[in-house]
Structure 1
């Protein structure tokens, strides 16, 4: 039985989500403020954490960063009324795996939860594997990325995007495919958060090197290849 934590100060929403999850055989704990949520998240073992961003005592962004530093493998879904590209980028930068804007349907949340739990189980055997392409190396266990022997500093979401691109080199990746596999969400054509992250990654991976690896294919998407 998966063990989930909900950090949500709106007691009505927390109760609805808790009841829905328990009907699907999840074990659910609830915290109604950020400080209590952080203490629970760090003191117990949860298979997945759902947190609001705007919380009393400690906001969801800070909670996410602290959990990600100490428990990097725990999937985190953010629930919030904030839905702009900048808000999503901030959440993903803090280490969130997915982002759901209120109001939302429970069944959509449940789909996101199942996808993240399935992915997390599937990834357990991949630790220690090193991805290599050209002079770029990414150790999936240590989360260390090096290009030409130089260590690069990437955020959790940049690492996930890089991993997907390195695992699918030399073919065009559409924005929809990237959204489905890196963010596990349907691509919203009204936002440009994927392009924002591609630019972040390009600055770190390509800017100081003569050979570029990340390329844009206008109208199609992006491709990871030499030259």
Structure 2
């Protein structure tokens, strides 16, 4: 059996737009992916609400910096055959770094961490699949509009920047924005159909990567 780490933020955790609740287990995209792989792979859900690629968030008590969390997870979940990384939305919600390019620099660092981590001698070096998150959309929710309404245009650039990173780093790429659209309830999170759509779309991608 293959082992896959799904490393992401609230879109991986399964945050239901406008409710602060969580989608059921079988709806969340990592588990939809696992079901589609028909028992040939275990998909480990590792979604953390608010997680960034490499940036600290001084507004919260929990450490949301993905670069700090990833090495520990690579160790604790050894062996891994594939690491899927879908992050970036929380990078651009801060006005002082509101660029998809900044998020792509963080994504580059995360790929480097996976590629250079000192794995145990018997463990394989996992492949990497970089996933661009769906773009933000306009919302009438005042709080969420204040949170990331200024970043909508930048969020539409994730696909272009992340595809470049994947090519430069020699890893795989998928644009989740081609199959999923954020829920206008809060402008950033996904309804059940769209989070399931990501998992479904990744099935053939992962099968190809892992030769399943």
Q: So what's the TM-score if we normalise by structure 1?
A: 0.44
TM-score of the pair, normalised by structure 2: 0.46
- Answer with 1 or 2: which has the greater Rg: 1
Bigger proportion of residues as strand:
1
